[in-house]
């Protein structure tokens, strides 16, 4: 009897709950005026109708958001993931490092994705980042890297790297293109 | 002498002292459930480890080496505190493996992730950001680790005879979980910082400093509570106390995980973690002191015939079956404290040998008695 109880608990946690989660839908769509805090001093204005799967809405959380944080926005099958962490280098160096990590991971998983050349991306605040597009078997998308200098940061060691990975099926990416571009351009450091 | 010998046999019988632990029990469903969940957990963890090894090998290696050393330190400490009818090494290893592999891979990783996502979907990401870990991990993880203690209780009912055994076995299970989680946090820290190994080292330092009020202690308290809840032949069930301790372990775990949200931007952010640490340590010490007497009594009954034989002195028996402070007080009061320590060590080994040989006067027991005489001679 205890053994069956343990087995039932394992099935509940590793099979039933993930299955319920897979079926569950988001009930808290983002609205106009919401602001997402990507990291301490760095924000993004999300498009209305998207869902915040992980991260922090500015002014809505009690826990402080640190300098290293992960944010995930979703809309249908399109995923907009932002990773922020201290980074002492250029956007191009950040993208090179991210690509190296991705190559290592793809090699381990036996997958590959073809990338385009790099091109500049500029936020409305005037911060210039660098991007490249990729095409995989079922998904396509872009990787964009920025390096921000948040409020009060006077030395290179307090600069914040921000990596955005947007991916999804081709048709949905096309449909949400304006939202995606708008959200990327909205990223800003507090000044 | 015959009364003492009968009491010795009874102590061995009641305590299960000296019995071997055999994990492989094909006739026992608990063995198969243990195996399935350890294999399943290994499979899940292997997926993570292969990612870490491919892209964050430096951080992974740093975590394994650093937390491996931390594990050795804690294993020594738990074994040091388990000085009477010690939990057999194979049982401790089975508990550690359950915590490190099954409780993490087959329960907590997938369960926590699902619950956190469900919180985000139902109540919003900000709620999940603040309270997700505090509301999911204490339940998922404490039940996952406690499930291991329950399985091992079914596999070794004669070895887990008191809440003290639950405390010690729980500490081994919790330590396995803690070390496994620590290693994953080390490389995930690097992964979240674009592969910066410096972040992995920050994680290693912080989690080492915060390692006392952590999983090994939560699960030790949960384990003692579980044994009190179900009861043992010599320890009647105390369901209220048992359930209370299991809930306390979950509550302290939840408060620790939720401390950032509770404190918010307050300058008193240190209060919650400090309180949790103080409560955990106090409860751990209370359980340790409350559950020791039966273990000490078994030691006394096991070694009393040796006093009659003149192998052990009455004062040494009091030290052997006493608290650690009584033991220290005894050795320090002797003309040659180092010799007294060696004698006590030899007598402890004699106790283990007598228990292993079920109280029989074997050659090995005779040799252990000779070792006591040798230690006494200096």
Per-residue pLDDT at A109 = 61
Check B54 against A9: CB less than 8 A apart.
Answer: no
Cα dist. A40→A71, A81, B185, B334 in Å?
12, 17, 21, 62
Phi-psi region of B16 (alpha: psi -120 to 50; beta: other; left: phi over 0): left
* A131 three-class SS: strand
Minimal Cα distance from A19: which residue of B? B114
The answer, yes or no, to whether residue A153 has pLDDT greater than 60, is no
- Give B60's contacts (C-beta < 8 A, 6+ positions apart): B49, B52, B53, B183, B186, B187
| CB-based contact, A88 to chain B, within 8 Å | no
**Tokens 């009968």, residue?**
B6
Q: Which of B179, B274, B280 is nearest to B220 (CA)?
A: B280
For A58-79, the pLDDT digits (tens) are 988 888 888 999 999 999 999 9
pLDDT of residue A155: 47
Cα(B100)–Cα(B180) distance, integer angstroms: 5
Taking contacts as CB-CB distances below 8 angstroms, the residues of chain A near B40 are: 10, 14
| Partners of B285 in beta bridges | none
Minimum-distance CB partner of B120 among A54, A60, A63? A54
In chain A, the residue whose alpha carbon lies closest to the alpha carbon of B194 is A98
Q: How many CB atoms lie within 10 A of CB B360?
A: 10
In chain B, which residues have their Cβ closer than 8 Å to the Cβ of A61? Answer: 126, 129-130, 261
CB B114 to CB A21 under 8 A?
Answer: yes
pLDDT band (50, 70, 90) for residue A108: low
pLDDT at A156 over 70: no
Q: How far is A117 from chain B (nearest CA, A)?
A: 21
Determine the length of chain B.
Answer: 378
The verdict on A31 touching B (C-beta cutoff 8 Å) is no
The distance of B286 to chain A (nearest Cα, Å) reads 28
Residue A154 pLDDT more than 50? no
SS3 A135: strand
Q: What stretches of chain A show up as alpha helix (H) in DSSP?
A: 2-11, 17-23, 91-109, 170-175, 177-186
CB–CB contact B110 A55 (8 Å): no
Chain B nearest C-alpha distance from A181 (Å): 22
A61, A98, A143, best to mutate vs chain B, most B CBs in 10 Å: A61
Closest residue on chain A to B146 (Cα): A6
Residue with tokens 């009954």: B301
Neighbouring CB atoms inside 10 A of B22's CB total 12
- How far is B148 from B98, CA to CA, in rounded Å? 6
pTM: 0.91
Q: Per-residue confidence of chain B (378 residues) as pLDDT tens digits?
A: 578 788 888 888 888 888 889 999 999 999 999 999 999 999 999 999 998 998 899 999 999 999 999 999 999 999 988 888 888 999 999 999 999 999 999 999 999 999 999 999 999 999 999 999 999 999 999 999 999 999 999 999 989 989 999 999 999 999 999 999 999 999 999 999 999 999 999 999 999 999 999 999 999 999 999 999 999 988 899 999 999 999 999 999 999 999 988 888 777 778 899 999 999 999 999 999 999 888 899 999 999 899 988 999 999 999 999 988 999 999 999 889 999 999 999 999 999 999 999 888 899 999 999 999 999 887
- Averaged confidence pLDDT in chain A: 89
Residue A98 contacts B where some CB pair is shorter than 8 Å: yes
Is A11 an 8 Å CB contact of chain B? no
| Sign of CA pseudo-dihedral B46, B50, B56, B59 | positive
- DSSP characters over B100-164: IIIIIIIIIHHHHHHHHHHHHHHH-HHHIIIIIHHHHHHHHHHHHHHHHHHHHHHH-TTT--SHH
Which two structure tokens, joined as six digits, stand for A54?
A: 């992980």
H/E segment holding residue B350: helix B337-356
Q: What does the pLDDT read at residue B253?
A: 96
Mark yes or no for CB contact A26/B120 under 8 Å.
Answer: yes
Residues in A closer than 8 angstroms to B51, CB to CB, are 105, 108
Q: Which residues contact B246 (CB under 8 A, 6 or more apart)?
A: B142, B146, B221, B222, B225, B226, B229
How many residues are recorded in chain A? Answer: 191
Q: How far apart are the first and last CA of chain A?
A: 62
The pLDDT of residue A139 is 80
- Give the SS3 label for residue A153: coil
Q: Which of B33, B55, B262 sits opposite A3 (nearest CB)?
A: B33
CA distance B215 to chain A (A): 19
Closest by CA to B53, choosing from A105, A94, A25, is: A105
B35-49 residues labelled b (16+ CB within 10 A) or e (exposed) = eebbebbbebbeebb
pLDDT of the residue at A157: 54
Q: Do B249 and B166 contact (CB within 8 A), yes or no?
A: no
A154 touches chain B (CB under 8 A): no
Contact B264 A13 (CB under 8 A): no
Q: Which of A3, A14, A100 sits opposite B111 (nearest CB)?
A: A14
């Amino acid at each position: 009897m205890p053994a069956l109880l343990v087995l039932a608990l394992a099935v509940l946690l590793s099979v039933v709950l993930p299955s319920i989660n897979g079926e569950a839908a988001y009930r808290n769509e983002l609205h106009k005026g919401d602001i997402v805090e990507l990291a301490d001093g760095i924000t993004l204005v999300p498009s209305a109708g998207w869902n915040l799967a992980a991260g922090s809405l500015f002014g809505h959380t009690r826990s402080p958001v640190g300098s290293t944080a992960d944010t995930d926005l979703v809309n249908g099958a399109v995923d907009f993931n932002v990773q922020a962490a201290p980074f002492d280098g250029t956007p191009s160096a950040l993208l090179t490092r991210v690509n190296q990590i991705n190559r290592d991971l793809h090699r381990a998983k036996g997958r590959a994705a073809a990338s385009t050349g790099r091109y500049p991306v500029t936020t409305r605040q005037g911060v210039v980042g660098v991007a490249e597009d990729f095409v995989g078997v079922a998904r396509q998308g872009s990787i964009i890297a920025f390096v921000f200098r948040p409020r009060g940061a006077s030395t290179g060691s307090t600069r914040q790297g921000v990596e955005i990975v947007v991916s999804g099926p081709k048709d949905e990416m096309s449909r949400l293109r304006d939202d995606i571009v708008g959200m990327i351009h909205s990223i800003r450091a507090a000044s | 002498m015959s009364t003492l010998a009968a009491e010795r046999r009874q102590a061995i019988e009641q305590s299960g002292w000296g019995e071997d632990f055999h994990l492989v029990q094909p006739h026992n469903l608990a063995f198969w459930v243990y195996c399935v969940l350890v294999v399943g957990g290994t499979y899940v963890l292997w997926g993570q480890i292969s990612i870490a090894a491919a892209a964050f090998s430096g951080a992974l290696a740093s975590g394994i080496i650093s937390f491996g050393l931390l594990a050795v330190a804690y294993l020594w400490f738990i074994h040091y505190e388990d000085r009477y009818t010690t939990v057999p090494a194979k049982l401790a290893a089975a508990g550690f493996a359950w915590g490190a592999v099954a409780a993490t891979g087959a329960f907590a990783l997938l369960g926590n992730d699902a619950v956190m996502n469900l919180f985000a979907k139902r109540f919003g990401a900000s709620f999940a950001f603040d309270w997700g870990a505090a509301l999911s991990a204490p339940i998922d993880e404490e039940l996952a680790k406690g499930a291991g203690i329950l399985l091992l209780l079914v596999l070794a009912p004669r070895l887990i005879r008191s809440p003290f055994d639950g405390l010690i076995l729980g500490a081994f299970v919790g330590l396995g979980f803690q070390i496994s989680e620590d290693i994953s946090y080390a490389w995930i820290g690097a992964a979240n910082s674009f592969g910066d190994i410096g972040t992995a080292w920050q994680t290693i330092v912080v989690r080492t400093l915060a390692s006392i009020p952590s999983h090994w202690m939560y699960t030790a308290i949960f384990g003692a509570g579980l044994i009190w809840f179900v009861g043992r032949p010599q320890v009647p069930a105390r369901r209220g106390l048992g359930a209370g301790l299991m809930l306390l372990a979950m509550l302290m775990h939840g408060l620790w995980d939720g401390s950032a949200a509770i404190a918010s931007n307050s300058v008193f952010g240190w209060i919650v973690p400090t309180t949790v640490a103080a409560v955990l340590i106090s409860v751990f010490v209370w359980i340790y002191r409350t559950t020791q007497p039966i273990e000490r009594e078994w030691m006394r009954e096991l070694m009393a015939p040796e006093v009659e034989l003149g192998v052990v002195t009455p004062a040494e028996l009091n030290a052997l079956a006493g608290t650690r402070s009584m033991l220290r007080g005894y050795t320090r009061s002797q003309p040659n404290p180092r010799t007294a320590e060696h004698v006590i060590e030899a007598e402890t080994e004699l106790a283990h040998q007598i228990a292993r040989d079920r109280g029989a006067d074997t050659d090995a027991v005779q040799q252990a008695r000779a070792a006591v005489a040798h230690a006494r001679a200096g």
